[in-house]
Each structure stands twice: as structure tokens, then as C-alpha cells.
Structure 1
Amino acid sequence: MNEEIILSLLSENLILILAAIFLLVCLFLGVRIVPQADKFVVERFGRLHAVLGPGINFIVPFLDVVRHKVSVLERQLPNANQDAITSDNVLVQVETSIFYRVTEPERTVYRIRDVDGAVQTTVAGIVRAEIGKMELDEVQSNRSQLITQIKHLVEEAVNDWGIEVTRAEILDVNLDKATRDAMLQQLNAERARRAAVMEAEGHKRATELNADAELYAAEQAAKARRVEADAEAYATQVVAEAIATHGIEAAQYQVALKQVDAVSAIASGAGQQTIVLPSSAMDAFGEAFGMLKGRKA
């Protein structure tokens, strides 16, 4: 009897223990804590059922299975080098770098097997196609525009894979040695041409300035001659008015003054000088003094 009771108690305790273990297993399988940087893809009977976001999530134990754990952090693909030919038939080697992140994990895991390799292949094809539309000078000078165009085209191409291209960079554009030497010669020739043009423009400007200076000097000389002519005309007009008012005496008076001024200039010279004057000159002086005296009176 005692043995039967003990067996009964053991069986009941075993059932309780098994039930507790089952509940713990269900709790363990039904609760999923998703890290902030991840998303979990859940399948039910082998088909997509749900995508679990960060935090605590509940699933049906034994029916739902977390099949994929996908990181949504931004990823950087390894730098890739690919050859491309420009529209002017120059071979260049382009080094690119791509950044992307997963936005829809269900597309990423069910539509593409190797997303990194697929993105790299897509970028390589787009880079070759876009560079083939441009000349070498355009590739060098419009790099930002080229990067923007490549990023836009890559985004359209990978849209079905549930990823977002966050950044695309062209790190370097390398040329073969022959092309580099040719570009260096072209650059040196262009510098020489610019130097010659600047020198010619300098000579031209100097010539223009000299011509302007000569023109200005001629204008000033003409103005001076015009002033002298105006002064002479004014003096002539004054003399003419004096003659018209006072008659021949005014003319004689002016002539006498000129003679006196001339003799004074000769006498004021350096050294000792002997001046011989004709008697007519003395008579002219007398007349001049007489006229001056008469005017003062």
C-alpha cells in the first residue's frame, strides 16, 4: 500500500515537472528579444510569416521559427577597381566605394543570395556605362555629377532587393602612363600658351597707355597754345581798341615801350657790356619818355 502511494506521488510530481519543463521551453521558444541593430525573419511551415523589430517579440512555439537574423547597420563594400573606356577612347581605371543598408530584410533574404556581390557587379556595370558617355576631361571635372548619377542608377537597380544605397564614391581615376605623359605635355603647352597670351596682353596694354599719355600730352599742349593764342588775341584787341580810341599815339607808345624793354634786357646781361645806340633810338626814347610823362600828367 505504501509503495502504491509513493508511486502515485512520484508519477504526479513527474507530470508536474514535465509540465513545468514544457512551459519553460514554450516560454523560451515563444519570446524573442531582438537587438536594436537587427531584424529577425520568421517562417511558419517554411513560408515567410513576420519580420520582428527591435525589442521583445512573441511567436508561436514549434510553429514559428526565426530563420534569418539580418543586420540593418550601414555596410561598406570593399573598394573595387574596374576598367572603363571614355567616349574619346581613353582607358581609365576607376576605384569606387559603396555604402548601403538593409531596409526590408524579407526581400534581401528571399530575392538575392549574395547581396554584396550583386551590388558590386551592378555598380561596375553602371560605372562603365556612365563613363563611356563622357570624355576624359568631363570625367575629371564633373566627378560630383558623375557620382550623383551613379548613385541614382544603383538605387533604381537594387530597389527590389530591399536595400538603400546611402553613399557612392569615386575614390580615384587612374590613367595609363602614355595617357598621363600626353596629358602632361598638353598641360605644359596650355601653360605656355597662357603665358604668351598674358605677355601679349601686357604689351598691348602698355602700348595703349603710352598712346593715351601721348594723346593727353598733345591735348595739354593744344590747350596751352589755345590759351596763348587767346592771350595774344586779347592783347591785339586791347591795342586795337587803344589805337581806335587814342589814335597813332597809342601805337607809338606801345612801340616805344617794346624798345625800352629790349634795351633793358640787353643791359641786364652778365659782365660788362658796351651798348651802341643810334641817334634815332635816342630820339625814340625821348619820345617814349615824353609820352610817359604826358600820360602821368
Structure 2
Amino acid sequence: MEGFSAALAIAIVLAAFALFVVVKTAVVVPQQNAYVVERLGKFYSVLDAGFHLLVPFMDAIRYRHTLKEQALDIPEQICITRDNVQVGVDGVLYLKVLDPQRASYGINDYYYAISQLAQTTLRSEIGKIELDRTFEERSNINGAVVSELDKATGPWGIKVLRYEIKNITPPRDVLAAMEKQMRAEREKRAVILTSEGERDAAINTAEGKKQQVIKESEAERQRQINEAEGQAQAILAIARATGEGLREVASAIRSEGGVEAVQLRVAEQYVEQFGNLARTTNTVILPATLSDVGSMIAAATNVLRSATPPVRSTTVAARPPPPPSPGRPPAGP
């Protein structure tokens, strides 16, 4: 029994040892991971994803790296801008391990080193610009930080992909001043827009009045032209009618008995107008002698006879002139 117990203990020890050796020698590397193996304290190889066997008591896994893209939080820090304003800035950094060997032996802790380098680079970039431009130049600041970090992390086997600023926090008094400035700027723009609207409205109103005056003047000019043309046509029609009437009168005078009819008509109008002298006013103008009537008729008759061509007739005998009426001078010279 004692021998059996000793043999069982030895078997158990051997089984435990074998299990220990298997655990130490058989390694399964997950996908997107890399293990750095040292043999007798010296770098031996980098194990990629898959199953691997190590030499017991000689090979050892010293470093385990993930090959995935990693996000490193950069804590908030106080930065001083170009115009001496303190702002709190934090961000997030994205990096990736490209060379596990250099990442293991190039630096002790690349997370800490990259975080510190990102903070110092960020302070340097913020100090180059003024506070008002920090929000506008965010993309430029991110690019500058990535460029500087990429230069430093190249020998470490780390690739810095991008950097993003999360928050820029100015002091409260600066925030209040910025709010006042923003409010004043908006009020200024509102006043400018209002004045521009009023100016455009005044210009449009003046332009409308100008067009109205122009249209009214053109309408007035056209009206005057139309009236002038109408008056000209009326005058021309009256002149034509007057000429036609005068021609008819002249033709009637040239006919037989026309001169006597003119004499009778002139005498009737003279007597009629002489009778109306004292009806409208208190002033009466009388001729010097009553013989003026006869002389006027005789003068008119002489004018008509001189303007009227003689009528040639061989069949009509000349009539003796009628005897003059009482108070009327004889016609003719």
C-alpha cells in the first residue's frame, strides 16, 4: 500500500508537471493581437494570430499588444492663448500599433508618452492663436498635433491617426464678455439690415415716383400734342369752310343782282348795330353826320365792283338806278 501510494503521488506530480509544460508551451494568439516572445531574456519573435508552441523554460511572452485602433483620452489642461487668455482644452487621440517589437522596446509606456506629448503640442498650438480664432482653427490645431505626434511616435512603432479637440472652455468672465460681444454683433447686424431695408424701400419709392412723374409728363405731352393736332385740324377745317363760304359769297356777288344784295345787307346790319349802341352801356358814340351811312355803303360797293369782273351780257338792258329814298344818299359816285 505504501508503494502504491508513492507511485500515485509520483504520477500526480508528473501529470501536473506535464500540464504545466503544456500551458507554458502551447499559446493561442487572438485575432488582431501580437505577442512578443523572448528566449532566455532576449527578443526572439513576434507571434501573430493563431496557435504556437514555445520551448519550455526558455521562451517567455513578455509583451502583449493589440493591433486594433485605440482611442486615448487626453485629459483637460490649461492653455494660454496668444492674447493671454486661459482656456481649458481636452481631446481624444486615435492611434494604432504598427510594429510590436519597437512598441515593446522603443519606449517604456507609449500611452503615457503620447499623452504627455499631445498635451505639450496642444499648448504650443493654442499659444499661437487668439481666443476668437480657437474655435475657427480647430481643424488646423488637430492637424498640427497629429503631425507633431506622428514624427515622435514613428521610432516607437506607433501610428497616430488623428486627434480631435472635445471641448474648449474659457473662463466665466470671458464667456460673459463673449456673449455680450456676440449680442452686440447681432444687434449691429440687425440695425444694418434694418437700415439697408429702409434704404432699399426709399430707393424703390423714389424710383416709383420718378417713373410716375415720367409717365405723367409723357401723358401730358401726348395730351398737348393731341390737343394741338385737334386744334390744327379744327382750324384747318374752319379755314377750309371759311374759304368755301367766301368762294360761294364771291360767286353769288358775281351773279346778277349780287352787288345790290350786298348793299342792302350792309345797310341792314349798320342800322341794326346802330340801334344797339345805347342798350348795354351809358356811353354812346354817334357819327359826325348822318351821311356817313351812305358813304360807307358807297365805299363797300366800290370795293365789290372793283373786285368783281364785269358781266358780259347782250340781251339784258341796263336798268336805271332806283330813286334814292328819303334820308339815304344815292349809291355810287
TM-score if structure 1 supplies the norm length?
0.70
SS at match of 1:180: helix
State the partner residue of 2:227.
232
Letter in 1 for 2:27: R
Partner deviation per Cα, 1:208-254 (whole Å, 9 max, x = no partner): 11101110110111121122022112213323443554445689xxx
Structure 2 residue 220 is the aligned partner of structure 1 residue 213: no
User: Quick check: 2:143–2:162 contact (8 Å CA) kept in 1?
Assistant: no
What is the alpha-carbon distance in structure 2 between the residues aligned to residue 202 and residue 64 of structure 1?
83
State the partner residue of 1:284.
none
Letter in 2 for 1:131: I
User: Quick check: 2:74–2:118 contact (8 Å CA) kept in 1?
Assistant: no
SS at match of 1:56: strand
Letter in 1 for 2:121: I
Structure 2 residue 93 is the aligned partner of structure 1 residue 72: no
1:43 to 38, 47, 50: 38
Letter in 2 for 1:230: I
SS at match of 1:73: coil
User: Quick check: 1:92–1:175 contact (8 Å CA) kept in 2?
Assistant: yes
**What displacement does 1:156 show?**
2.2
- Is there any run of 5+ residues in structure 1 with no aligned partner, and where? 1-13, 252-278, 280-297
Name the CA shift for 1:230/1:147 in 2 (closer, same or farther; >3 Å).
same
What is the alpha-carbon distance in structure 1 between the residues aligned to residue 245 and residue 185 of structure 2?
80
SS at match of 1:147: helix
State the partner residue of 2:95.
100
What is the alpha-carbon distance in structure 2 between the residues aligned to residue 249 and residue 88 of structure 1?
104
User: Quick check: 1:41–1:52 contact (8 Å CA) kept in 2?
Assistant: yes
Name the CA shift for 1:21/1:183 in 2 (closer, same or farther; >3 Å).
closer
| Percent pairwise identity | 32
Task: Map residues 25-40 of structure 1 onto 2, 5 A cutoff.
Answer: 29-40=24-35
SS at match of 1:113: coil
User: Quick check: 1:242–1:250 contact (8 Å CA) kept in 2?
Assistant: no
Task: Map residues 1-297 of structure 1 onto 2, 5 A cutoff.
Answer: 29-243=24-238, 245-248=240-243
User: Quick check: 1:32–1:59 contact (8 Å CA) kept in 2?
Assistant: yes
**What displacement does 1:94 show?**
0.3
Partner deviation per Cα, 1:127-174 (whole Å, 9 max, x = no partner): 011111112121112323322332232222212211222342211101
Partner deviation per Cα, 1:253-297 (whole Å, 9 max, x = no partner): xxxxxxxxxxxxxxxxxxxxxxxxxx9xxxxxxxxxxxxxxxxxx
What is the alpha-carbon distance in structure 2 between the residues aligned to residue 167 and residue 118 of structure 1?
16
User: Quick check: 1:85–1:131 contact (8 Å CA) kept in 2?
Assistant: yes
**What displacement does 1:177 show?**
1.9
Letter in 2 for 1:126: T
What is the alpha-carbon distance in structure 2 between the residues aligned to residue 224 and residue 249 of structure 1?
37
What is the alpha-carbon distance in structure 1 between the residues aligned to residue 138 and residue 232 of structure 2?
82
What is the alpha-carbon distance in structure 2 between the residues aligned to residue 186 and residue 23 of structure 1?
77
**What displacement does 1:80 show?**
0.4
What is the alpha-carbon distance in structure 2 between the residues aligned to residue 195 and residue 96 of structure 1?
36
User: Quick check: 2:74–2:115 contact (8 Å CA) kept in 1?
Assistant: no
Name the CA shift for 1:234/1:84 in 2 (closer, same or farther; >3 Å).
same
User: Quick check: 1:97–1:169 contact (8 Å CA) kept in 2?
Assistant: yes
What is the alpha-carbon distance in structure 2 between the residues aligned to residue 84 and residue 245 of structure 1?
105
What is the alpha-carbon distance in structure 2 between the residues aligned to residue 109 and residue 27 of structure 1?
26
What is the alpha-carbon distance in structure 2 between the residues aligned to residue 250 and residue 159 of structure 1?
122
SS at match of 2:82: coil
Q: Structure 1 or 2: larger helix share?
A: 1
Letter in 2 for 1:161: W
What is the alpha-carbon distance in structure 1 between the residues aligned to residue 71 and residue 114 of structure 2?
11
Partner deviation per Cα, 1:14-48 (whole Å, 9 max, x = no partner): 9xxx8x99998776655432111421111233222
- Is there any run of 5+ residues in structure 2 with no aligned partner, and where? 1-9, 247-275, 277-333
What is the alpha-carbon distance in structure 1 between the residues aligned to residue 204 and residue 245 of structure 2?
52
Q: Give the length in aligned residue pairs.
A: 236
What is the alpha-carbon distance in structure 2 between the residues aligned to residue 29 and residue 203 of structure 1?
87
Name the CA shift for 1:193/1:22 in 2 (closer, same or farther; >3 Å).
closer
